[in-house]
Structure 1
Amino acid sequence: MQVALVGLGVMGKNLALNLIEKGMTLVAYDKNPEVGAELLSCAQSLGMAERLHIVSDLGDMIRRLETPRSILLLVPAGELVDKVCSDLVEAGVEKEDIIVDCGNSNYKDGIARKLKYQNKFEFATMGISGGAEGARHGPAMMASGSEGGWERIEPWFEKVAASYNNESCFARVGQSASGHFVKMVHNGIEYALMQLIAEVYQLLRHGTGRSPKEVAEIFESWSEGNLNSYLLAISSHILSLETEQGESLVDLIDNKVGAKGTGLWTAQNALELGIAVPSLVAAVQARHLTNTIDTPAAKEMTYAAKSTESVEVDLDELKQAFYFASLLCYRQGLALIKGASRAHQWKVDLNKTLQTWRAGCIIRADYLDDVAQGVEFIDSLEEPALALRRTTGKAIATGLSFPVLAATQTYIATLSTPSNGHLVQAQRDYFGEHGIKTHSGETCHLTDLVEIDAKVR
Structure 2
Amino acid sequence: MSTGATLGLYGLGTMGSALALNILDKGFGLHVSNRSDQVVDAFRNDAAAAGLADNLSAHHDLETMVPAMPGPRAVILMVPAGAPVDETIDRLRPLLTPGDAIIDAGNADFNDTRRRTEALEAAGLTYIGMGVSGGEEGARHGPSIMVGGTEQAWSGIRSMIESIAARYEGVPCAAHLGPDGAGHFVKTVHNGIEYADMQMIAEIYGLMRHGQGLAPAEIGKTFAVWDSGPLQSYLVGITGKILKAEDAPGVPAVDAILDQAGQKGTGRWTVIEAVKLGQSATTVEAAVAARSWSAEKPLRETGEGLYGQTAGPVDLSEAQLEQALLAGRIIAYAQGFRTLLAASDAYGWSLDPARIAEIWRAGCIIRSALLDDIAKAFRGDLPQGQLVFAPAFKDMLDDSLPALRAVVAQAASGGHPVPALAAALGFLDSMTRARGTTDLVQAQRDFFGRHGFDRVDGGEDRHGPWWR
Shared fold (TM-score greater than 0.5)? yes
Q: 1:6-54 CA deviation, whole Å, 9 max, x = no partner?
A: 1111111110000011010001111111111111111111212110000
Could you tell me how far apart the structure 2 residues matched to 1:256 and 1:47 are?
40
8 A contact 2:455–2:462 mirrored in 1: no
Match of 2:381 in 1: none
Within the candidate set 350, 356, 361, 1:358 is matched to: 361
Within the candidate set 190, 193, 210, 2:194 is matched to: 190
Within the candidate set 366, 369, 389, 2:405 is matched to: 389
Q: 1:181-235 CA deviation, whole Å, 9 max, x = no partner?
A: 1111111111100000000001111111211111111111101223111111111
Displacement of 1:413? 0.3
Within the candidate set 85, 90, 102, 1:86 is matched to: 90
Q: 1:304-348 CA deviation, whole Å, 9 max, x = no partner?
A: 331322121121122122111111101111110110110111111
Within the candidate set 290, 313, 327, 1:286 is matched to: 290
Counterpart of 2:394 in structure 1: which amino acid? D
8 A contact 1:111–1:177 mirrored in 2: yes
Counterpart of 1:146 in structure 2: which amino acid? T
Match of 1:126 in 2: 130
8 A contact 2:337–2:353 mirrored in 1: yes
Could you tell me how far apart the structure 1 residues matched to 2:29 and 2:467 are?
80
Match of 1:343 in 2: 346
Within the candidate set 146, 152, 158, 1:142 is matched to: 146
8 A contact 1:175–1:347 mirrored in 2: no
Within the candidate set 410, 419, 429, 1:403 is matched to: 419
Could you tell me how far apart the structure 2 residues matched to 1:322 and 1:398 are?
18
* Most deviating of 327-336 and 65-74: 65-74
Could you tell me how far apart the structure 1 residues matched to 2:296 and 2:34 are?
37
Displacement of 1:301? 11
Could you tell me how far apart the structure 2 residues matched to 1:95 and 1:107 are?
24
Could you tell me how far apart the structure 1 residues matched to 2:185 and 2:148 are?
10
How many residue pairs are counted as aligned between the two chains?
449
Secondary structure of residue in 2 paired with 1:436? coil
Displacement of 1:66? 2.5
Counterpart of 2:419 in structure 1: which amino acid? P
Match of 1:422 in 2: 439
Counterpart of 2:412 in structure 1: which amino acid? I
Return 5+ residue gaps in structure 1 as ranges.
none
The answer as to 2:121 corresponding to 1:106 is no
Q: 1:376-415 CA deviation, whole Å, 9 max, x = no partner?
A: 1322331112222222212222111000010000000000
TM-score, normalised with respect to structure 1: 0.94
Match of 2:393 in 1: 378
Displacement of 1:302? 8.8
- Pair 1:97–1:229, CA change in 2 (3 A): same
- Pair 1:453–1:87, CA change in 2 (3 A): closer
Could you tell me how far apart the structure 1 residues matched to 2:306 and 2:287 are?
21
Could you tell me how far apart the structure 1 residues matched to 2:60 and 2:296 are?
44
Displacement of 1:303? 5.0
* Most deviating of 373-382 and 416-425: 373-382
Displacement of 1:441? 3.3
Could you tell me how far apart the structure 1 residues matched to 2:454 and 2:298 are?
44
Q: 1:82-141 CA deviation, whole Å, 9 max, x = no partner?
A: 1211211222x1121111111111110011111121233111100111111111000111
> What percentage of aligned pairs have identical amino acids?
36
Could you tell me how far apart the structure 1 residues matched to 2:306 and 2:145 are?
44
Match of 2:243 in 1: 239
- Pair 1:421–1:34, CA change in 2 (3 A): same
- Pair 1:96–1:387, CA change in 2 (3 A): same
Secondary structure of residue in 2 paired with 1:187? helix
Could you tell me how far apart the structure 2 residues matched to 1:350 and 1:439 are?
34
Displacement of 1:293? 5.0
Could you tell me how far apart the structure 2 residues matched to 1:308 and 1:78 are?
41
- Pair 1:61–1:244, CA change in 2 (3 A): closer
Could you tell me how far apart the structure 2 residues matched to 1:217 and 1:453 are?
64
8 A contact 1:341–1:347 mirrored in 2: yes
Could you tell me how far apart the structure 2 residues matched to 1:243 and 1:422 are?
55
- Pair 1:103–1:294, CA change in 2 (3 A): farther
Could you tell me how far apart the structure 2 residues matched to 1:348 and 1:305 are?
50
- Pair 1:167–1:302, CA change in 2 (3 A): farther
Could you tell me how far apart the structure 1 residues matched to 2:322 and 2:61 are?
54
Match of 1:95 in 2: 98
Match of 1:333 in 2: 336
The answer as to 2:203 corresponding to 1:199 is yes
8 A contact 1:137–1:162 mirrored in 2: yes
* Most deviating of 231-240 and 193-202: 231-240
Counterpart of 1:259 in structure 2: which amino acid? Q
8 A contact 1:436–1:443 mirrored in 2: yes
Could you tell me how far apart the structure 2 residues matched to 1:156 and 1:173 are?
16
Return 5+ residue gaps in structure 2 as ranges.
378-386
Within the candidate set 51, 54, 71, 2:55 is matched to: 51
8 A contact 2:154–2:176 mirrored in 1: no
- Pair 1:78–1:302, CA change in 2 (3 A): farther
